[in-house]
Structure 1
């Protein structure tokens, strides 16, 4: 395969900020097709990237020359269209959350296996330099036993950056299924699994208190426990009106790690003996400016296809991270701690 020909289905903000510019920057890729139900938006993007424009995703899937697609659509369409794409013989990079239920996610995984195609979920936090360095430190045993953590992902809300502003599908429960928990919380469930291992129990308080005219959650705090007994909190919010917080703090026997919690240093190691190590690393990506920081998601997806290797975030990995969010919703409904075993 000389050049990977890709189609991007959905031309909203996540395509604009991430998928399209990062595919365009990859020398192994040609953006061959773009699709959006807003035909004018699709035409504009197609002109910018020299691609064909479509308003019906089925036409993209029917193109024999397309090797892979990005599914950048409202949450309720992730599973059905990913499955159609896999069945059409395309590799799939699907935005998060990968599905709206365990059953949908399992169907996606089956479709990938049946068709022998790559399915990757676009969780970008594993590729952040501070997070990868933190994993090396934790795995090395330098912190000793890990006791607890707190991780947060919050910003003022999708209306600040979504292509459709306050009218965005993010606020439509039928289309979004979940709010801040699906938009932000699932990123953090994936990150904490990557850093600390699998979780066994989830409790949650989930509210719709900051946004009007929506039924989806905009504030959530989860309590999590790992198999090894590490406990911590995961917060997802669309109510941080003064800006974003994407920080994680890990507390260990011999010291703490502060990730993305300082404006200058992406990672700070603090030890019991008073030693402090400050790391200036590549900044965590934001959606404030197109093309400012590579998320590495697209490049990894492309490499996995071209080299026929398994991606870091497979469908199975995406499902494990989704299960934590689904358990949080169940905890809110039942007022009980939910077991993931």
Structure 2
């Protein structure tokens, strides 16, 4: 088939580090358009990649120059732009969190279904080799019943890598809707659902702003989660880990403990009750730091879903279920109650 013509809406860091270079590297893609409200940035990126520059996403969507778009904008624009693109007959890859409410997420899914187009959410943690291997081990029954888990995703904060530094939309509640929980926590909610192979049903949380005095969104959050099978564990999301990034997950099972991205050399370590330890060297997790996996796989999976007309690896429904965990955490912090995750 002919190459898929792609436009990238929002030319900030995630577009520059992931979407743009990965589209260009994909032999099935022609990068035809880029859009950013900042005209200088739009023109610079367009010139770099030989694409058309737009400052209005509506103009791009109706240009006839694209078959699919990546939505890499501030969070509050994810739903309106994705819905407009789907209604314009385009496939959509949307960054996470997919929306700022369940209603927005449902509207995105409805627009994809009504127009027969692909909607994929950029939850790249599913494609990390150690995470995929852990899921296989759990599904095969080799780990036995899962009792507990803990997962954390933390770094020094977006100001170090966002194109706008401390002025970034990440720190503005009007545009971001949520801080570290939306940036990092939703990744780990999605990862737990994927690796454990079950839904999270109850959440209790503390969600604070205590590290960034210039921000009006959360920068530290710790949640207690309960799954449908009764496993309980914690999820921490932080912009206050000032040294090395932490992107680790530990799963405590009946027959083994699985340590994911917890050892600097071995991306998965399985410690069995009989004393056996198996260390897997599966390639580093992707990160904004050097040495991480260069290809997030998200772009390739999205392109494959269009090319082969198959369901995306992370469809809108999956993005919404992971968003629901974050929404429950925010509600728990507000009400000081344990909150059931809405279905």
Taking structure 1 as the reference length, the TM-score comes to 0.98
Distance (whole Å) between structure 2 residues aligned to residue 281 and residue 45 of structure 1: 33
1:187-336 correspondence to structure 2 within 5 Å: 187-196=187-196, 197-289=198-290, 293-336=294-337
Is residue 32–residue 50 contact of structure 1 (8 Å, CA) maintained in 2? yes
Q: Please tell me whether the aligned partners of residues 284 and 292 of structure 2 are also in contact (alpha carbons under 8 angstroms).
A: no
RMSD over equivalenced CA pairs, Å: 1.1
Counterpart-to-counterpart distance in 2, 1:290 and 1:57 = 34
Give the drift of 1:213. Answer: 2.2
1:9 aligns with 2:9: yes
Partner of 1:100: 100
- 8 Å Cα contact 1:17/1:291 also seen in 2: no
Report the Cα offset of residue 289 of structure 1: 4.7
SS in 2 for 1:27: coil
CA distance in 2, matches of 1:306, 1:282: 27
Which of structure 1's runs of 4+ aligned residues deviate more than 3 A? 289-292
What are the superposed Cα offsets for residues 281-339 of structure 1, whole Å, 9 maximum, x if unpaired? 12100113599510000000000001000012111000000000000000000000001
Kindly report which structure 2 residues correspond to 1:140-155, keeping only aligned pairs within 5 A, or say none. 140-155=140-155
What is the SS of the residue equivalent to 1:240?
coil
Q: Which runs of 5+ in 2 are unaligned?
A: none
CA contact (8 A) 1:250 1:256 kept: yes
Aligned residue number for residue 131 of structure 2: 131
CA displacement, residues 28-71 of structure 1 (integer Å, 9 cap, x when unaligned): 00100001111111111111111111111111101213100000
Residue 23 (str. 1) matches residue 57 (str. 2): no
- Structure 1 distance, partners of 2:47, 2:290, is 20
* Residues 72-94 of structure 1 deviation map (CA, whole Å, 9 limit, x = unaligned): 00000000000000000100000
Contact 2:33–2:65 (8 Å) recurs in 1: no
In 2, the alpha carbon distance for the partners of 1:250 and 1:124 equals 19
Unmatched segments (≥5 aa) in structure 1: none
Q: How many residues align structurally?
A: 341
